[in-house]
Chains A and B, each alone.
Chain A
C-alpha cells in the first residue's frame, strides 16, 4: 500500500491567492482527517470525515477554509483567500473505523504551505 498521499508537498503562494491541498487516503479506510501543525499552536485537528461525510469541522479556523470529500479516495482542503498566518504544515490522515471502534491514524507526509 502506498500510504496516505498528499500533494503538493510544498506550496509557496502570495497572500490573497487560492490554495488547494489534496489527499488520497489509504484504500479501505473510512475516516479522513485534516490537521495543521505550527510551532505556536502545535497539531490542530481542522476537520474529519466519516464515510465521506464531514462529522466535525469545529477546528476550521474561519470561512476562508473549506474541505470536501467527493468520494472515498479523495479529499481537498481549500484556503481562499490565503493569508500569511495560514503558513503551516498541513497533514492528512486516514483511519479504519469498525463498529465504532477507534483505530490508529495513518498520516501523510504533509504539505508545507508558505504564504508570502
Chain B
C-alpha cells in the first residue's frame, strides 16, 4: 500500500505542550500534505510539502520531510484545546498523477 501511516494513533497532552505526529509511507511521492479533521466535520488542509523540500512552517505548525526515510512529521507548538482533532497525512503519488493516499490518522486530545 502507498498509504501514509500516522504514528501514534492517539495522543493526549496538556495545553501548552508540543505535539508531534509522524507519518511513514512506502513509495515515491510528489508531495505530502497534512490535514486536520474535527469530529463530524470535513478535512481542512494544513500544509503541503513537496518532495524537494525538507521543512515548512505555518504559524504554530512545522512539517519536516525525509524522503530517504520515507517519513514526515508534524509538530504543533504551544498546543491549545482547539487543536483537539484528528490529523491525517496524505501522500501524493509520484506515479499516479493527482492521486492521494490518506493514512488512518492521529487522534490528538489537548486537555485544558
The interface of chain A, by Cβ under 8 A from chain B, is 4, 31, 33, 35, 42-45, 48, 50, 55-56, 91, 93, 95, 97, 100, 102-110
Contacts and interface: CB of A to CB of B under 8 A. Distances in A.
Contact of A106 (B45, B50, B90): B45
Contacts of A48: 98-99
Given A55-B97, A91-B42, A42 B30 contact: no
A44 B104 CA distance: 10
13 contacts: A42-B104, A42-B105, A43-B102, A45-B101, A48-B98, A93-B43, A102-B48, A102-B98, A103-B48, A104-B33, A105-B45, A108-B42, A110-B42
Contacts of A35: 102
- Interface size on B, as a range, is 20 to 34
Given A42-B103, A104-B48, A31 B43 contact: no
Contacts of A4: 42
Interface of B: 30-31, 33, 35, 41-45, 48, 50, 88, 90, 92, 96-105
Given A42-B104, A48-B99, A102 B43 contact: no
Given A45-B101, A91-B43, 7 more contacts: A31-B98, A35-B102, A43-B88, A48-B99, A50-B97, A104-B33, A105-B90
Nearest to B101: A45
A72 to B, nearest CB: 16
Given A103-B48, A106-B45, A55 B98 contact: yes
Contacts of A93: 43
Contacts of B41: 109-110
